[in-house]
């Protein structure tokens, strides 16, 4: 949830002000993805903020790992890693890369430190 909400806040209070061109790219990428039938029955389908947030979570491998044949369930589909995002929605992946670079940050748990 933290990564998701951070992504939305970054867009609303950061990108939209200091980098409106990237914000416009997110909006256009969302419109294109929906028109092409991507993200059906997921949170990313709701609006461009949710689309961006889902993409950022996957970019940082912060979505729960799901089977690759998983059917969308109104929240998520099978896209939950950077590589899967790259293959599924290259435009969204590339926008995240522009914003965050090739960051190696990944979430950790209490078990892994």
The single-letter DSSP state of residue 64 is P
Cβ within 8 Å of residue 81, ≥6 positions away? 58, 61, 63, 65
The total of structural domains in the chain comes to 1
Assigned domain for 24 exists: yes
Distance of CA 44 to the CA centre of its chain: 8
Distance CA 94, CA 109 (A): 27
pLDDT tier at 95, thresholds 50, 70, 90: very high
Cβ within 8 Å of residue 44, ≥6 positions away? 33, 38, 50, 51, 53, 54, 55
Assigned domain for 39 exists: yes
pLDDT tier at 54, thresholds 50, 70, 90: very high
Distance CA 93, CA 96 (A): 5
The single-letter DSSP state of residue 65 is P
Q: Tokens representing 84?
A: 């899967």
Structural domain boundaries, residue 90: 2-100
Assigned domain for 111 exists: no
Assigned domain for 79 exists: yes
Answer yes or no: is pLDDT of 75 > 90. Answer: no
Over residues 6-39, the pLDDT tens digits come to 999 999 999 999 999 999 999 999 999 999 999 9
């Amino acid at each position: 949830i933290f990564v998701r909400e951070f992504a939305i806040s970054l867009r609303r209070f950061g990108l939209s002000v200091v980098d409106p061109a990237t914000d416009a790219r997110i909006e256009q990428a969302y419109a294109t993805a929906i028109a092409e039938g991507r993200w059906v029955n997921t949170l990313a389908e709701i609006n461009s903020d949710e689309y961006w947030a889902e993409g950022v979570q996957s970019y940082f491998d912060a979505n729960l790992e799901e089977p690759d044949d998983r059917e969308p369930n109104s929240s998520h589909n099978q896209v939950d890693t950077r590589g899967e995002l790259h293959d599924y929605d290259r435009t969204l992946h590339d926008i995240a890369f522009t914003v965050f670079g090739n960051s190696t940050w990944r979430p950790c748990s209490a078990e892994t430190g």
